[in-house]
Amino acid sequence: MEVKKVGDISQKEFYNEFLKPGIPCVFKNASKVWKANGLFNPDYFRKNFGDRRTVVNGKDYTMSELLDLVENSSVEKPAPYPCKFDIPSQLPEILPLIRPLGMNYAVPNWFESKLFPSQTYGNGTELFLGGPGGKFPVAHIDFFHTNAWITQLYGDKNFIVYPRGQDEYLYPKADNPWLSEVNIFNPDYSKHPKYKLATPITVTVNAGETMFIPWGLWHSAESLTPSISVIFDQINSKNYSNYMRDVWDFKKDTNKVKKVAMMAYYALARVYCQLGDAFNVKRELK
């Protein structure tokens, strides 16, 4: 398997070739519809949002402090990764710059409906900062079987993805099967001998490009240069059954009646969103 880079394909071609079969790809210029494309760089964020704060690995930083760290990051001494801002709550001013969120490909996206609150059960729209040597801490499958859309607006990042069917080689953690036990950047084959059979595929995603990682795919990432990315998740009729199963499993120890009521809510949300799709209702992240 290789990860294809695609140009101006139609939404239908994307649906048939990648979304439906669950195959990853990189869009070369889907983000051209965002005002953020070509605008986002470290100085833009320093100037406009330099004192915005966020917490990374338990420590509080300003945007300017994080930008200094990522611009001085090196493979030997990497800045923390990822440095995240939740866009709707911490940087709402940039929402108009990333519309339409789905770039006319990640559609429909039921997370854009008000029925799915932001930052709840896999619904995130985030800004990621990273610097050279910054590695995502763990190879993983995204929680809740969401599709992930990661757009590089500045700098380059490597993504590592695995073909389906390699769960066994990645040693899912017993208490959290979405995370791998293997340190894929420095595997210990005596502990994880089957990882030798895994076939990671590395693809470099450059500024302006968008990585599509379909639900259920093992992946990780590594920043190559100072980098700014926008990441959002997608659910719709294709992955909603998996999504609901994960929401059910996630709520392990709450009481059954509450769980059933919650599932009834999500089942109704499905009907509502399917009707919305059928009538082509326009959704927009608030």
Binding site for ligand AKG (CB under 6 A): 82, 128, 136, 142, 148, 150, 157, 219, 221, 229, 231
Cβ neighbors of 143 (< 8 A, separation 6 or more) are 122, 178, 246, 250
Q: Which of residues 9 and 229 has its CB atom nearest to Fe ion in the complex? A: 229
Q: Cβ of residue 220: shortest distance to Fe ion, in angstroms?
A: 8
Length of the chain: 286
**For residue 218, how far is the Cα from the chain centroid?**
12
Tokens of 140: 């993983």
* 209 binding partner (options Fe ion, ligand AKG, none; Cβ < 5 to 8 Å by kind): none
Q: Which amino acid is at 119?
A: Q
- For residues 96 and 192, give the distance between their C-alpha atoms in angstroms, rounded to a whole number: 46
Q: Which of residues 102 and 155 has its CB atom nearest to ligand AKG in the complex? A: 155
Q: Which of residues 110 and 136 has its CB atom nearest to ligand AKG in the complex? A: 136
Task: Check if the beta carbon of residue 106 is closer than 8 Å to that of residue 234.
Answer: yes
**For residue 155, how far is the Cα from the chain centroid?**
17
Using the rule CB under 5 A, which residue among 112, 126, 142, 246 binds Fe ion? Answer: 142
Residue 109 region, left (φ>0) first, then alpha (ψ -120 to 50), else beta?
beta
Q: Which of residues 145 and 270 has its CB atom nearest to ligand AKG in the complex? A: 145
Q: Cβ of residue 86: shortest distance to ligand AKG, in angstroms?
A: 12
**Residue (of 34, 27, 82) closest to 212 by Cα position:** 27
Stretch that binds Fe ion, among 137-145, 162-170, 224-232, 237-245 (CB under 5 A): 137-145
Q: Cβ of residue 186: shortest distance to Fe ion, in angstroms?
A: 20
Please tell me the count of residues contacting Fe ion according to CB under 5 A: 1
- For residues 18 and 212, give the distance between their C-alpha atoms in angstroms, rounded to a whole number: 9
**Residue (of 87, 86, 103, 92) closest to 209 by Cα position:** 103
In degrees, rounded to 5, the angle at the alpha carbon of residue 274 between the alpha carbons of residues 27 and 263 is: 105
Q: Which of residues 110 and 159 has its CB atom nearest to Fe ion in the complex? A: 159
Q: Cβ of residue 214: shortest distance to ligand AKG, in angstroms?
A: 12
Note whether 233 binds Fe ion by CB under 5 A.
no
* 224 binding partner (options Fe ion, ligand AKG, none; Cβ < 5 to 8 Å by kind): none
Cβ neighbors of 57 (< 8 A, separation 6 or more) are 80
* 136 binding partner (options Fe ion, ligand AKG, none; Cβ < 5 to 8 Å by kind): ligand AKG
Task: Check if the beta carbon of residue 155 is closer than 8 Å to that of residue 223.
Answer: yes
Q: Which of residues 113 and 147 has its CB atom nearest to ligand AKG in the complex? A: 147
Q: How far apart are the first and last CA of the chain?
A: 37
Task: Check if the beta carbon of residue 217 is closer than 8 Å to that of residue 162.
Answer: yes
* 230 binding partner (options Fe ion, ligand AKG, none; Cβ < 5 to 8 Å by kind): none
* 82 binding partner (options Fe ion, ligand AKG, none; Cβ < 5 to 8 Å by kind): ligand AKG
Q: Which residue is nearest to Fe ion (CB)?
A: 142
Q: Which of residues 73 and 270 has its CB atom nearest to ligand AKG in the complex? A: 73
* 233 binding partner (options ligand AKG, Fe ion, none; Cβ < 5 to 8 Å by kind): none
Q: Which of residues 137 and 193 has its CB atom nearest to Fe ion in the complex? A: 137
Which residues make up the interface to Fe ion (CB under 5 A)? 142
